Amino acid sequence: MTGEYRLADGGRIDRDRPVRFRFDGHDYEGCAGDTLASALLANGVHQVGTSIRYGRPRGIAAAGPEEPNALVQIEEPFPEPMLTATTVELRDGLVASGLPGQGRLATEPDPARYDAINAHCDVLVVGAGPAGLAAARSAARSGARVIVADADTEFGGSLLGTRDELDQAPAWRWIDRVTSELQASPDVTVLPRTTVFGCYDDNYLVAVEHRGEDAFTRQRAWHIRAREIVLATGSHERPLVFPGNDRPGTMLASSARTYLHRYGVLPGRRAVVFTTNDSAYAAAVDLHDAGVEIAAVVDVRPVATTVWTARCVERGIRILTNCAVTGTSGADRVSGAQVSSLPSGDAAPAELDCDLLLVSGGWNPAVHLHSQARGTVRYSEELGALVPDRTPRGVRTVGAAAGTFTTAECLRAGSEAGSDAAREAGFHADVAEVPGSPSGPVTPPQPIWLLPGLSADSDDEQFVDLARDATVADVRKAVGAGMSSVEHIKRFTTIGTAHDQGKTSGLLSSGVIAELLGVEVAEVGATTFRPPYAPVAFAALAGRDRGDLYDPIRVTAMHDWHLEQDCPFENVGQWKRPWYYPQPGEDMESAVLRECHAVRTGVGMQDVSTLGKIDVQGPDAAEFLDLVYTNKMSTLRVGRIRYGVMCHADGMVFDDGTVMRTGEHRYLVSTTSGGAAGVLEWLEDWLQTEWPHLRVHLTSVTEQWATIALAGPRSREVLARVTSDIDLTNDAFPFMSWTDGTVAGSGARVCRISFSGELAFEINVPWWHGRQVWEALHRAGSEFGITPYGTETMHVLRAEKGFPIVGQDTDGTVTPHDLGMGWAVSKKKDDFLGMRSFSREDTARSDRKHLVGLLPPAGSAVVPEGTQLVDSTELPAPPVPMLGHITSSYRSAALDRPFALALVKSGRDRIGQTIYGHVGDELVPVEITEPVFYDKEGNRRDG
Amino acid sequence: MMLIPCPWCGPRNETEFHYGGQADVSYPADPQAVSDVDWARFLFFRANTKGIFTERWNHQAGCRRWFTVRRDTTTNEIFHDDSHEAVTR
């Protein structure tokens, strides 16, 4: 026998497959099919943990995801924090412990795999209780693609926890028949153990499937786009607020019934049942028949329903109408309930001994997904619950989730909704037949939020949210402070913000607030239902998009060569670019100084393949480029290259690069590495929406060309060793021109472009030949001491020449004139993007920030990039007038000193002045200079 | 996750698109003839509509098409009954 509270037979567990587990250091045995909660109850364990604020003992209060109390930490098979014992499937070797209201994250990495799957369907049915199964069957029979998902390990929903009959046979027979039919349908996907936790725009739903510890992937996130949705998400029983309502042994009445019928477990020996509605009578009767002594059914209503009264009388169960439980006793477990007549205080309460206190305050339809789908809800006085009101197109909410509480009605509504959904999705669908289900007359529930006549002293023992340890006293404090909005009170009291997101406490708090404010519950309303419906592990959301797969990584054709040099990489957008190539014993600074020196005195090579390249073709290409560049591109001759600046219409620089004219109607435009996609999108925008008459086509060719920069006074000699069909003399191949030829056996387009000021060539070859040509150049350069260099050296060399980097020396508030690049702004064009803005008052003023050079004292440290610049040797009281900030700052090998570029207010008018950089607690003097530090005359570019 | 109707590719997930803001903000025919005030209005002023809004999207991760849709900003419902001209502004 697996536990002294386990019945000899009954339930859907497998007594022949015992499961050993450990909880709080004790070894127990359960059965296959148990949850951790049912196995604990079978062993007589009610208390699972303690409460988060007051450390009060707390037990198992429910049998599903609405559980507010029974939080456990899983230790084996893998550490996992804060799960509810009611949703943990029992497995052999499970080790768990109870929690004091919150868990702790595992410190070791998760060895399991998580995955994601995208799915499309015509009809998604959420929930496989009577309504959901009926809906799925109707929809499936039409031939529609159907997905039916349910959080539980098996289908059946509420029917699993009852002994209801369908067609005069146990309900599970019908469940099995429908489930088999669905499984056999080729267009139906059956997903047990799958919680649909979020419903987003246009019927996009996300679910998490728990595939088990032994599965290839432990959990799988389903991203489902459904044409039509049927929400059959059921309902949650609501607890009651009364003093001492948190003692272990206090349990939702229907949950006790579920433990009995589904797991063959008696949750106690002697029970008091406290209710506001008919549903708890079934629990009283069923538990009695299974051997539990029912001390009394305490009903707040003046009259009980005849049929239930008769069944109780038959069994000798006492019914106390117009009464309430007004207190409990017991240490770690309830041992007695005080029962008073209503209004309380009329007579001395009677004390009833019990080890189980079942409560039912009514039923809350699970309108979470309905609400997330932008369905509205309204408060139903009749049911004492929030029920769906308006439902958006493409969504149907049925069954208990819609406030329908008889099985017969749920089946009928489900079947109709399933066929309606299939029809809306374009299928010919009939309403599938449903089995017969007995139903009897029901006496309306009498929702009660606060028991009358209790002294205020008891407020702090009346729990509204067990998970947050929030009481009536907390709500009273909030209301007393002047709050009346349920959203404010939620945030003040934290009610509804725990792992269960208020499944049991949400509406309860609205009811209590309404009582305290003296208004209707409908007026108070409820807080917003947000995803996720149930807690989801971040690992499941991340799936495989973690580590190296978190974001795409783009690498160049020469990447493996760089890896072999063991160089650190800089992330530029999604690109990996070599940062510098350290030799043994070198730090970054010494490596960069060496690389810079090599380029200035010998020859260096850099992989610049990542620069964006856009092929611009068409009869109107020249006219188009004249509109998007500040300078004129139509006058560029075929075979020549021009540097260009792009501005947005507001006149601010947003990208730059070279433009090669490769034909009468064809240009190759280069962009910054990180800006390529944005530039293409922007060019397409103007082309498609403003100038559709221009016959121009754009193609990204970034990954078609591998590009190698060969820079330094010896670069021509190196290139000459690997090419024989290009005349490399200045006359034949001048600066800012390009030519086609053969380099190291590969067809190549070679440009005379320099970003360092030195004689330089940019060699473009088909991507496939990138590494081969790179290595050939490296070999050819060995006798000249050719030095590979990375982005850092490139930055230093260009800064020495005063070349700005868009996005580093600019920030979207900088015009070409601010950069000192008025020469790149045409005065001959009628219009180009940005032109009109240059005459705006703000853009034209003379005290804008200019890009200038800065020289800290020779021998001093590099002043950090981002350093704020001020005019005085001592900081005045805030607000301190700022002159600008340093945008680029390095140590120069050529100058043998630190230097910087900065944006400084009226900077060009201050050249020669000393200003101060605020570094730590110090003000460091810096002299403003021209931005060009090296070879101002440009003598070096031709070698 | 909105389902956005690309005129070329059909309905696709929102993540394939890039938002382009309010539609029908045309580049002036002769910007040099526009006053500073009107130019600033063209550059910087956009509606922030609660309700039905005509806006631009770019199918950046697909065909690169720019197009216009009408969307209710309170519900994210996109109106498919539009017959916007092939070239949109």
Is A462 in a helix, a strand, or coil?
Answer: strand
Burial class (CB in 10 A: 0-12, 13-18, 19+), A678: middle
Q: Is the model's pLDDT at B89 over the cut of 80?
A: no
For residues A592 and A890, give the distance between their C-alpha atoms in angstroms, rounded to a whole number: 10
- For residue A837, the distance in angstroms to the closest alpha carbon of chain B comes to 8
Q: What is the pTM of this model?
A: 0.91
- Residues A633, A626 contacting (CB under 8 angstroms): yes
For residues A464 and A164, give the distance between their C-alpha atoms in angstroms, rounded to a whole number: 32
Q: Give pLDDT, residue B81.
A: 57
The neighbour count for residue A846, using CB atoms within 10 Å, is 8
pLDDT band at A305 (very low <50, low <70, confident <90, very high): very high
Please indicate whether, in this complex, the C-beta atoms of A835 and B76 are within 8 angstroms of each other.
no
Q: Give pLDDT, residue A585.
A: 95
Mean pLDDT value of segment A193-215: 95
- Does the beta carbon of B45 lie under 8 angstroms from any beta carbon of chain A? no
Q: Give pLDDT, residue A943.
A: 86
Cβ-based contacts of A840 with chain B (< 8 Å): 36, 39-40
- Does the beta carbon of B33 lie under 8 angstroms from any beta carbon of chain A? no
Going from N- to C-terminal start, the domains of chain A cover: 1-110, 114-236+365-424, 239-361, 448-519
Mean pLDDT value of segment A117-124: 98
- For residue A439, the distance in angstroms to the closest alpha carbon of chain B comes to 40
pLDDT band at A506 (very low <50, low <70, confident <90, very high): very high
Q: To which residue do tokens 């509270």 refer?
A: A5
Please indicate whether, in this complex, the C-beta atoms of B32 and A831 are within 8 angstroms of each other.
yes
- Residues A495, A473 contacting (CB under 8 angstroms): no
Disruptive mutation site among A372, A647, A688, A842 for chain B (greatest number of B CBs within 10 Å): A688
Q: Give pLDDT, residue A214.
A: 84
Q: Give pLDDT, residue B82.
A: 52
Give tens-digit pLDDT for A542-586.
999 998 899 999 999 999 999 999 999 999 999 999 999 999 999
Q: Give pLDDT, residue B88.
A: 44
- Does the beta carbon of A650 lie under 8 angstroms from any beta carbon of chain B? yes
DSSP labels, A624-666: HHHHHBSS--TTPPTTBEEEEEEE-TTS-EEEEEEEEEEETTE
Instruction: Tell me whether the CATH fold assigned to A114-236+365-424 matches the one assigned to A239-361.
Output: yes
Please indicate whether, in this complex, the C-beta atoms of A837 and B39 are within 8 angstroms of each other.
yes
- Residues A667, A738 contacting (CB under 8 angstroms): no
Task: Give me the interface pTM, i.e. the ipTM.
Answer: 0.94
- Does the beta carbon of B64 lie under 8 angstroms from any beta carbon of chain A? yes
Question: Percent of chain A, pLDDT > 70?
Answer: 99
Please indicate whether, in this complex, the C-beta atoms of A836 and B40 are within 8 angstroms of each other.
no
Please indicate whether, in this complex, the C-beta atoms of A689 and B56 are within 8 angstroms of each other.
yes
For residues B51 and B70, give the distance between their C-alpha atoms in angstroms, rounded to a whole number: 10
Question: Domains (ranges, CATH) in chain B?
Answer: 3-25+38-88 (3.30.2270.10)
Which of A202, A677, A835 has its CB closest to that of B31?
A835
- Does the beta carbon of A689 lie under 8 angstroms from any beta carbon of chain B? yes
Q: To which residue do tokens 């039509």 refer?
A: A228
- For residue A839, the distance in angstroms to the closest alpha carbon of chain B comes to 9
Please indicate whether, in this complex, the C-beta atoms of B66 and A680 are within 8 angstroms of each other.
no
Q: Is the model's pLDDT at A282 over the cut of 50?
A: yes
Cβ-based contacts of B43 with chain A (< 8 Å): 649-650, 837
The neighbour count for residue A729, using CB atoms within 10 Å, is 11
pLDDT band at A181 (very low <50, low <70, confident <90, very high): very high
Q: Is the model's pLDDT at A104 over the cut of 90?
A: no
pLDDT band at A347 (very low <50, low <70, confident <90, very high): low
- Does the beta carbon of B72 lie under 8 angstroms from any beta carbon of chain A? no
User: For A1-110, which CATH class?
Assistant: alpha beta
For residues A58 and A706, give the distance between their C-alpha atoms in angstroms, rounded to a whole number: 66
pLDDT band at A78 (very low <50, low <70, confident <90, very high): confident
The neighbour count for residue A22, using CB atoms within 10 Å, is 15
Please indicate whether, in this complex, the C-beta atoms of A374 and B3 are within 8 angstroms of each other.
no
Please give the mean pLDDT across all residues of chain A: 95
Which of B58, B76, B89 has its CB closest to that of A681?
B58
Mean pLDDT value of segment A139-153: 97
Which of B3, B60, B64 has its CB closest to that of A202?
B3
Cβ-based contacts of A202 with chain B (< 8 Å): 1-3, 76
Please indicate whether, in this complex, the C-beta atoms of B31 and A692 are within 8 angstroms of each other.
no
Residue A197 CB contacts under 8 Å (≥ 6 apart), including other chains:
A206, A207, A208, A531, A532, A533, A534, A536
Which chain A residues in 176-205 lie under 8 Å from chain B, judged by CB atoms? Answer: 200-202, 204
DSSP labels, A278-307: THHHHHHHHHHHTT-EEEEEEESSSS--HH
Mean pLDDT value of segment A56-79: 94
Question: Is the Cα torsion angle A827, A830, A833, A836 positive or negative in sign?
Answer: positive
Which chain A residues in 9-68 lie under 8 Å from chain B, judged by CB atoms? Answer: none
Disruptive mutation site among B39, B65, B88 for chain A (greatest number of A CBs within 10 Å): B39
| Nearest chain B alpha carbon to A687 | B66
Please, what is the angle between helix A130-141 and helix A407-424, to 10°?
A: 30
User: For A239-361, which CATH class?
Assistant: alpha beta
Residues in chain B: 89
Q: Which of A322-336, A439-453, A599-613, A878-892 has the lowest mean pLDDT?
A: A439-453
Please indicate whether, in this complex, the C-beta atoms of A689 and B88 are within 8 angstroms of each other.
yes
- Does the beta carbon of A685 lie under 8 angstroms from any beta carbon of chain B? yes
Please indicate whether, in this complex, the C-beta atoms of A685 and B58 are within 8 angstroms of each other.
yes
- Residues A786, A711 contacting (CB under 8 angstroms): no
- Does the beta carbon of B35 lie under 8 angstroms from any beta carbon of chain A? no
The CA dihedral of A550, A551, A557, A560, to the nearest 10 degrees, is: -30
The DSSP H or E segment spanning A262 is helix A253-263
Burial class (CB in 10 A: 0-12, 13-18, 19+), A936: exposed
Select from A796, A821, A823 the least CA-distant residue to A808.
A796
Q: Write out the two tokens for A303.
A: 């009259």
User: Which residue type sits at A435?
Assistant: P
DSSP one-letter code for A812: S
What does the angle CA A795 – CA A798 – CA A804 come to, to the nearest 5 degrees? 90
- Residues A190, A146 contacting (CB under 8 angstroms): no
Disruptive mutation site among B66, B67, B75 for chain A (greatest number of A CBs within 10 Å): B66
Mean pLDDT value of segment A301-313: 94
Q: Which of A511-525, A907-921, B73-87 has the lowest mean pLDDT?
A: B73-87
Cβ-based contacts of B88 with chain A (< 8 Å): 688-689
Cβ-based contacts of A204 with chain B (< 8 Å): 1, 3, 13
Q: Give pLDDT, residue A598.
A: 98
The β-bridge relationship of strands A738-743 and A746-751 is antiparallel
CATH number for region A448-519: 1.10.10.1100
For residues A908 and A620, give the distance between their C-alpha atoms in angstroms, rounded to a whole number: 39
- For residue B18, the distance in angstroms to the closest alpha carbon of chain A comes to 9
- For residue B44, the distance in angstroms to the closest alpha carbon of chain A comes to 9
Disruptive mutation site among A696, A836, A840, A843 for chain B (greatest number of B CBs within 10 Å): A836
Please indicate whether, in this complex, the C-beta atoms of A200 and B1 are within 8 angstroms of each other.
yes
Q: In chain B, what is the straight-line distance between the N-terminal and C-terminal CA atoms, in Å?
A: 25
Select from A113, A92, A102, A79 the least CA-distant residue to A31.
A92
Cβ-based contacts of B66 with chain A (< 8 Å): 684-685, 688-689
Mean pLDDT value of segment A740-763: 97
- For residue A694, the distance in angstroms to the closest alpha carbon of chain B comes to 13
The CA dihedral of A736, A741, A743, A747, to the nearest 10 degrees, is: 120
Q: Is the model's pLDDT at B84 over the cut of 60?
A: no
Mean pLDDT value of segment A742-769: 97
Give tens-digit pLDDT for A423-434.
999 999 999 899
Q: Is the model's pLDDT at A345 over the cut of 70?
A: no
pLDDT band at B87 (very low <50, low <70, confident <90, very high): very low
Higher pLDDT, A463 or A106: A463
Question: Is the Cα torsion angle A530, A536, A537, A540 positive or negative in sign?
Answer: negative
Cα-only R_g, chain B = 14
User: Which residue type sits at A651?
Assistant: G
Higher pLDDT, A395 or A943: A395
Give tens-digit pLDDT for A632-677.
999 999 999 999 999 999 999 999 999 999 999 999 999 999 999 9
Q: To which residue do tokens 């997903």 refer?
A: A191
| Nearest chain A alpha carbon to B19 | A681
Is A852 in a helix, a strand, or coil?
Answer: strand
Disruptive mutation site among A200, A202, A371 for chain B (greatest number of B CBs within 10 Å): A202
| Nearest chain B alpha carbon to A200 | B1
For residues A813 and A133, give the distance between their C-alpha atoms in angstroms, rounded to a whole number: 60
For residues A117 and A122, give the distance between their C-alpha atoms in angstroms, rounded to a whole number: 17
- Residues A276, A445 contacting (CB under 8 angstroms): yes
User: For A114-236+365-424, which CATH class?
Assistant: alpha beta
- For residue A227, the distance in angstroms to the closest alpha carbon of chain B comes to 11
pLDDT band at B85 (very low <50, low <70, confident <90, very high): very low
Cβ-based contacts of B81 with chain A (< 8 Å): none
Give tens-digit pLDDT for A168-179.
999 999 999 999
For residues A492 and A475, give the distance between their C-alpha atoms in angstroms, rounded to a whole number: 9
- For residue A105, the distance in angstroms to the closest alpha carbon of chain B comes to 30
The DSSP H or E segment spanning A761 is strand A760-766
Disruptive mutation site among B2, B6, B34, B43 for chain A (greatest number of A CBs within 10 Å): B43
